[in-house]
Structure 1
Amino acid sequence: MSRQDKIVKTSIIGIVVNLILVAFKATIGILVNSIAITLDAVNNLTDALSSIITIIGTKLAGRAPDKNHPYGYGRIEYFSSVIIAAIVLWAGITALMES
């Protein structure tokens, strides 16, 4: 199994588990009117989104070199990491403001 296949497989498992946790925690958080549990559901949702971005970044970075990119597309992984960092920062600021 290649590195790309391992990343995609692990990310898909993470997405599924995080979405299950989102549904469970959001339901409980709303039922008991707990902002902490509801924000934890939002945290799991951002984790699932991060996994989706990881899959996209890995697929794009794995493309073969071409005329315009003779060294390949490997740096796309860095760009996807910056996007994930921005999402985590946004979630943290939102949680701080809601608390």
Structure 2
Amino acid sequence: MSTHVVTRRVTLVELARMRASGEKIAVLTCYDASFARICDAAGIDVLLVGDSLGMVVQGHDSTLPVSVSDIAYHTAAVARGSQRALLVADMPFGSFQESPAQAMRN
């Protein structure tokens, strides 16, 4: 978790600087706006919207049923709740394996 105050969104350049200086980088998985607000208040640097939401939120036995639309929905919710953390979203299984063009479309 970062010890410095950042009032803007964390960037890849900022993360690289933190890494180069040996500063710890805090990353958590997040699926909704409420938890995103809590993470921001705690100073979490990166929030991951993972395809694990299929099991954690949707109750599936695996991540395979998670769609691009599911990830987009939860990423938008996390974005509304977060002001500071860099947001990272998974590409669900089957959304990029076919080709680079498919990955870019999704």
TM-score, length of structure 1 as denominator length = 0.31
Q: Which protein shows a greater Rg?
A: 1
Give the structure with the higher percent helix: 1
The one of the two structures with greater contact order (alpha-carbon pairs below 8 A, sep at least 6) is 2
TM-score, length of structure 2 as denominator length = 0.29
